[in-house]
Amino acid sequence: MPKEITLAKFAGFCYGVKRAVETVKKLKAENPDKNIYVLGELIHNTQVIEELSALGIKTLNELPQKGNGICVVRSHGESPEVFKKIEESGFEVYDLTCPDVKKVQQKAIELAKDGYYVVIVGKSEHPEVVAIKANALQYSQKVIVATTPEQLKPYEKELKEHKKIGVVVQTTQMISTLNDIIQFLTPLSKELHIANTICQSTAMRQSEAKELAKDSDLMIVAGSKKSANTTHLAEVLKDITKTIHIETEKELDNYKDLIESSQKISITAGASTPDNVIAKVIEQIRVSP
């Protein structure tokens, strides 16, 4: 019997990533004689970074003391201090922070200004979260990051005494993670302000993939292992059905037996996974025995 292969509607580039990739390419095309740099990887996808590099768009892992040309701030955003450093280095700044990420930064700033103890639900080392925290810290030192109630335990007394707690969320986080944090904070707070800043694209992607997983023998999640939204997607689905997380179609060879024994296979992909990667995954499964 031929396999039933279903591709999720909300698979691949979200509008923030699409906007970032298209804009840097346009920027290079319009400024062929200028150096175009991106501070950090524009998106978490090796194939896209290599494609941009071939066009002459270079990735900077750290800022040089002296630079010339245009330095792009990627969709994850940066701290105000980094924006200042880019300008001081001599670069022109081109800000490509995702509009959804900007909203989280603004909300965190508002809460800090209004005297809330700010809790950022997210991974502390993720560049998006680093930037959100830095923006809030301009107005208050009462800012913490957590993905589990256990990480908040050391601050329990402090949070209880503060009474006003404000919550924002990394755009690619899972709703279940936010719910766990809210449950922990509710008894501690006299006033709890929750801004569910998980972006709509992430929420829809997770919701659709969960529905597909219920009726699938195997879920394949395509995308970088460094991508937060892609790894979260795989985590969510593993509780529902057999799930594999791959970066490219080449990794499918490691799961030959699993693919062969699965009749209904559904495919989804992270927000930074290009269409051509998804197409190659589908093609590879089609030709599998």
Residues 6+ apart with CB under 8 A from 123: 129, 145, 147, 170, 228
DSSP assigned state of 96:
-
- Known active-site residue 125: no
Whether 175 contacts 206, CB under 8 Å:
yes
Is the backbone of residue 77 left (phi > 0), alpha (psi -120 to 50) or beta?
A: left
CA 210 to chain CA centroid, nearest Å: 18
Q: CB under 8 Å to 148, separation ≥6 — which residues?
A: 177, 180, 181
- The rounded distance, in Å, linking the Cα atoms of 71 and 57 is 10
- From 4, 81, 92, 128, the catalytic residue: 128
260 is written with which tokens? Answer: 């062969």
Q: E strands of 89-189, at which residues? A: 92-95, 117-121, 143-146, 164-169
Mutual orientation of helices 99-113 and 127-137 as an angle, nearest 10°?
30
Rounded CA gap, 11 and 230, in Å? 10
Q: Which residues are catalytic?
A: 128
